[in-house]
Amino acid sequence: MARDAVWTLLNNDAQLAALGGDGFKAIAQYSEDQRPEAAAFIVICWRQTDFNEDIQANAERHFDLYVHIPVKVSTDFVRIENMIDRCDELFKAVEDSTDPVVGEDGWQLDYVGFEGRGLDFEDEGYQTICKPASYMALASKVIAP
């Protein structure tokens, strides 16, 4: 369903890692007990589907990226915008890539569409500044030859 392919794409990009700083990583929602301490990070949140997965496993999947920077590190929302811009570039390149992004779960990311950006806010729980961006992904199950 593209979960692992999106995670792989974000965690393996050198430019995104440089923008995020030492220790940058993208994490799946609820996969960590606490936030990373010294760097920016992205939380990937998959939204509810409105179709029967048994019938249509390759339908569109909607997800949000929440880009966080600890307040003690920076309060610069421009840095967050730059990180989201880089995510947009990575996702735009998926459709035309000659090397498909395949996750360890066997799903290949075929297309990612941009759906918008949210408001700048301060996340008091994580003690970060944050901004969300929304996307739609299409993926296909990789069939071995």
Quote the pTM value. 0.89
CB 107 within 8 A of CB 2: yes
Residue 42 φ/ψ, nearest 5 degrees: -120, 130
d(CA 68, CA 44): 11
Residue range 78-135, pLDDT digits in tens: 999 999 999 999 999 998 888 889 999 899 999 999 999 999 999 998 899 999 999 9
CATH number at residue 51: 3.30.2000
DSSP single-letter state for residue 27:
E
The total of structural domains in the chain comes to 1
- Quick one: which of 96, 84, 88, 97 has its CA closest to 131? 84
